Structure 1
Amino acid sequence: MDLTPTEEQRLLRESAGRFVRAQYNADARRKRAEAGEGFSAGAWREFADLGWLALPLPEAHGGLGGGAVEVGMLMEAFGEGLVDSPYVSTVILGAGAIAAAGSPAQQADLLPKIAEGALRVAFAHSERQARYNLADVATHAVKDADGWVLDGAKTAVLDADEADLLIVSARIHGNRADAKGIGLFIVPRDAEGVTLTTDLRLGGGKVSQVRLAGVRLGAGALLGGLEDALPVIEAVSDHATAALCAEAVGMMQTLVETTAAYIKTREQFGKPLSVNQALRHRMADMAVAVEEARSLALRAALFADAEPAARARAVSGAKAKIGRGARFVAEQAVQLHGGMGVTEELEIGAFLKRVVFFDAMFGGVDHHLKRHAALSAAGRAA
């Protein structure tokens, strides 16, 4: 298999790298943090102008038809600059669900708006009791003469506070005692009965707890009219996990480069730290962890559109390995910086926080090791 990037992929990676270095360098990030500025509408318009919002969307609806490999290249650049944006929530999760399950009319209405930056979407699926079990959905939708009524609660919904629409999963009932499959519903964020409680998330950005109390929706709110959307939920969750793995690789790369520069300039007993052989060995281990993570992130992207078991196995393998590797690199970076590693003056601590958040999103190391083992055992049994 030839893994050499195409000319288009190379140009994408270079343009994303230039943008991040210019707009999200250490000084720029520090100024944003001091001013308390989050991700801006202006930056989102820049993403749209650069074609990044359209990147993985279907060409028939204003997209560029890119795949998970191209998304991974973009996300790796985001990770290098610790870019805080609703890209995963809107483009990978929200638009991904619409592209996979939406009716032609829903796709034609929503996807072009997402591609041009006029619409943001949040994917509200996780629930407190589920513990990463995507099939565990207690939120319920009851059909009546006027459409649907939703009741329930969602937790840790990425970027819901600035979304225009929520894509909400709910167990479909003919009546409250007749449970059927899981559907995905298009819910305006400001719909009556929708309540958001928003908190800052570790490493930047926001997450919301979403409560739905008697939320009334029209008959056309069910995405694609699909009453068994669990395969779609699993697919977009795996795509988002693969994208976050690529972002983690970018964070690991910056941590290694920053730490290498620090130990070359920081002197102890009249000599730079880099002359210490033990520290050089630790830096070598960190560099190896980055390359291992990069290979697994690419593998997850290459399998993103494979059959479900192969896709899930590749993504879980990558998430587990990169989760451990990213923790190792971040913790070593903090330790090699000494006390400076946990001060606000340096950003090492901020990268560590984002790594911790990455590890928790869509399941931690233990969850994905168990998932990978179960899928592998099922494959051998078959």
Structure 2
Amino acid sequence: MPLYLTDDQTLLRDTAKDFVAEHAPVSHMRALRDADDATGFSRDLWKQFAELGFTGMLVPEGDGGLGLGHVEAGLVLEEIGRNLSPSPFLTTAVAAVEALKGSAVREQYFPGIIAGDTVAALAIDEGRKHDGAIAMKAERAGNGFRLTGAKQFVTHGHVADLILVAARTAGSAGDAEGITLFALSKDAASLTADPQRLADASLAARLELNGVEVDADAVVGDVDQGGTILNRLLAAGRTGASAELVGVAGGAADMTYAYLKDRKQFGVPIGSFQALQHRAAHLYSEMEVARAAVLKAQQLLDAGADASEAVSVAKAMTGLATTLAVQEGVQMHGGIGMTDEFDIGFYMKRARVLAEMFGDTNFHANQLALAAGY
């Protein structure tokens, strides 16, 4: 597979770049933070995403969507990352849509997602770090199930219209089998959400399910067979988060390169100093390698191939490259890089949160080691 974009993909990238830069720049995120916005994103902006067709990119044409792939979704996510735009695009239009494909539940939620009326949250993690272990119980109750347990780090969990919950209907925590995925509505009884402000000013909730009862229609796929769907959801989410990380790195790098050209010491731009040139060149090369890794994972997902290792490579490499980008950005800006009035610090905060989503660099490096037999 060639690691470059087609003409149509390039056109989409340019459209997304112009739209996000105009309607959701860093100042948009700063304004939401300063207002202590309780939602965490703009629903009006989400509707604008829908008007452009972005929210239905991964929805099959037969279900009313555009039927595009992860490469195209990644182009939008990269611009979201570049501008630090608060948006439910990753959780809703990418991960949730991928999980709902082919299920009967999709008929209930796809129209709302396509129209920009529905926001989805992913209730997967239960511990302080993403480890893949699902312990939440889903016990039979009448013609449905009763869910009991807690979920952590649920982005948009306090305002989501749809919450995808991974629970255990058989086996024990850590088992690959016995997982079932449930689609819960936001008004489910005995469901409470405690939103917390994260380092990047976004909101994620701790969900408590105290005997939440759902009927059999809430099951996504088949009972005890949700592991396959969950893996598909995670692959889409991890690849999407990697694309957004590339955007964060790109935004931080662009700001840093501009500063190197403008800031002067001893009467010359600091970008003329060889030591800083070497660091900038190193950053550029690391970012290009990470971008190629993401595109490879996206192409494999779109081809329906086994992309598990490529996805882990992409998530691990973008975590490293973006960490380098934001650290170099703050350091090369000097003292002003540590001030709130300068935007570069926001990139570091967003990178830290994104790096943790769906598993950090160490988690995915370990996954690759296990796949290699270590």
For normalisation by structure 2, the TM-score amounts to: 0.93
- Identify the residue that residue 14 of structure 2 maps to in structure 1: 14
Work out the CA distance in 2 between the residues paired with 1:116 and 1:180.
35
Q: Which runs of structure 2 are paired with 1:246-265 in the superposition (5 Å)?
A: 246-265=243-262
Q: Is 1:321 aligned to 2:320, yes or no?
A: no
Deviates more, 1:263-272 or 1:52-61: 263-272
Q: Is the 8 A contact 1:305 1:311 kept in 2?
A: no
For normalisation by structure 1, the TM-score amounts to: 0.91
Q: Is the 8 A contact 2:122 2:154 kept in 1?
A: yes
Work out the CA distance in 1 between the residues paired with 2:356 and 2:177.
30
Q: Which runs of structure 2 are paired with 1:12-161 in the superposition (5 Å)?
A: 12-37=12-37, 38-100=40-102, 102-103=103-104, 106-128=105-127, 131-134=129-132, 136-161=133-158
Q: Structure 1 357/303 Cα, relative in aligned 2: closer, same or farther at 3 Å?
A: same
Work out the CA distance in 2 between the residues paired with 1:60 and 1:259.
45
* Cα drift, residue 375 of structure 1: 1.4
- Look up the SS of the partner of 1:210 in the other structure: strand
Find the partner of 2:159 among 162, 169, 172: 162
- Identify the residue that residue 280 of structure 2 maps to in structure 1: 283
Q: Is 1:344 aligned to 2:346, yes or no?
A: no
* Cα drift, residue 19 of structure 1: 0.8
Work out the CA distance in 1 between the residues paired with 2:191 and 2:27.
39
Matched AA of 1:169: A
Q: Which runs of structure 2 are paired with 1:185-204 in the superposition (5 Å)?
A: 185-204=182-201
Find the partner of 1:235 among 232, 236, 248: 232
Q: Is the 8 A contact 1:172 1:180 kept in 2?
A: no
Work out the CA distance in 2 between the residues paired with 1:342 and 1:146.
56
Q: Structure 1 138/280 Cα, relative in aligned 2: closer, same or farther at 3 Å?
A: same
Work out the CA distance in 1 between the residues paired with 2:26 and 2:168.
45
Q: Which runs of structure 2 are paired with 1:203-242 in the superposition (5 Å)?
A: 203-242=200-239
Aligned residues: 368
Provide structure 1 residue ranges, at least 5 long, that are not aligned to the other structure: none
Q: Structure 1 188/32 Cα, relative in aligned 2: closer, same or farther at 3 Å?
A: closer
Matched AA of 2:151: K
- Identify the residue that residue 377 of structure 1 maps to in structure 2: 373
Matched AA of 1:183: T
* Cα drift, residue 311 of structure 1: 1.0
Matched AA of 1:125: I
Q: Structure 1 322/173 Cα, relative in aligned 2: closer, same or farther at 3 Å?
A: closer
Matched AA of 1:342: M
* Cα drift, residue 85 of structure 1: 0.7
Matched AA of 2:25: N
* Cα drift, residue 53 of structure 1: 0.4
Matched AA of 1:114: I
How much identity, in percent, do the aligned residues show? 33
- Look up the SS of the partner of 1:209 in the other structure: strand
Q: Is the 8 A contact 2:131 2:359 kept in 1?
A: no
- Look up the SS of the partner of 1:162 in the other structure: coil
Work out the CA distance in 1 between the residues paired with 2:116 and 2:304.
31
Q: Is the 8 A contact 2:256 2:332 kept in 1?
A: yes
Q: Is the 8 A contact 2:33 2:201 kept in 1?
A: no
Matched AA of 1:133: D
Provide structure 2 residue ranges, at least 5 long, that are not aligned to the other structure: none
Q: Structure 1 251/110 Cα, relative in aligned 2: closer, same or farther at 3 Å?
A: same
* Cα drift, residue 123 of structure 1: 1.4
Deviations 1:25-64 (A, max 9, x none): 3444444443444411110100100100000111111111
Q: Structure 1 33/156 Cα, relative in aligned 2: closer, same or farther at 3 Å?
A: closer
